Every structure is written in C-alpha cells, then in structure tokens.
C-alpha cells in the first residue's frame, strides 16, 4: 500500500506555516530515529513495559503526520507491550521500522521540495 498523506490538511494543522511544519519534520526525523533505537533495545530485552512506552511515544509522534500504516504498526507494538505478550514482537518491530522509514523518506522528500 502506498503512503498517502493529506498535505493540505497537515499544513492547515500547522496553521499554514510551512516553515514550522518543516522544522517539525526535522525534529520528528531526529527523535523518531532515537526512539526507534530504544524500541529495538526494548524488544531485544523482551521488556514489555518499555515496548509499551516506546510504542506509545512513537505512535503519538507518527500520528502528528499520519494515522496510516506506521501509526498502526506502532500501536500494535504498544498493545503487545501493554498486554505483556511480546510473541511476534521481532516481526512487528521489523514491520514498524519499514513503515516508519517509508514515512520518514516521504516527509524528508516533501521538506526538500519546499
């Protein structure tokens, strides 16, 4: 499934301030990378509480820009941690990271267009 972001609505959410939006994209790209590393460590350590926390945080960060596949993948990890059931978390993490990467590439390209 191709990534779809409603640019017009997203820009409206930033009060039509493209500079603010692009600064927020930069912050997101940096922060998401750091949080993703922390999520990797949580999954590797089978730390359900940390998986829940990082999944929740990443879900919120992603949700600013999209409630699509990356958002849903982060939500899945959050609930796995919340339910203390990390069976399949390695696969869920790989899926999330692929979808997060797709979102990051899209946002970076959009920023570079502007």
Residue ranges of the domains in the chain? 20-113
Model's pTM, two decimal places?
0.93
In this prediction, what percent of the chain has a pLDDT beyond 90?
Answer: 93
Choices 3.40.50.620, 1.10.340.30, 1.20.120.160, 1.10.10.10: CATH for 20-113: 1.20.120.160
> Smallest Cα–Cα separation from 10: which of 24, 30, 31?
24
Predicted pLDDT at 1 = 54
Per-residue pLDDT of 38-73, as tens digits, reads: 999 999 999 999 999 999 999 999 999 999 999 999
Per-residue pLDDT, 95: 98
Measured from the Cβ of residue 54, the count of other Cβ atoms closer than 10 Å reads 24
CA distances from 109 to 4, 12, 25, 98, 104 (A): 14, 19, 11, 17, 8
Query: How many CA atoms does the CB half-sphere of 28 hold within 13 Å?
Result: 24
Res. 114 pLDDT band, cuts 50 70 90: confident
């Amino acid at each position: 499934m191709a990534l779809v972001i409603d640019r017009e609505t997203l820009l409206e959410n930033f009060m039509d301030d493209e500079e603010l939006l692009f600064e927020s994209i930069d912050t997101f790209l940096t922060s998401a990378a750091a949080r993703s590393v922390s999520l990797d460590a949580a999954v590797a350590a089978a730390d359900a509480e940390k998986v829940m926390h990082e999944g929740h945080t990443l879900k919120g960060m992603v949700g600013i820009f999209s409630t699509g596949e990356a958002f849903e993948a982060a939500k899945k990890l959050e609930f796995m941690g919340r339910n203390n059931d990390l069976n399949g978390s390695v696969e869920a993490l790989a899926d999330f990271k692929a979808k997060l990467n797709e979102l990051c590439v899209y946002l970076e390209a959009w920023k570079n267009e502007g």
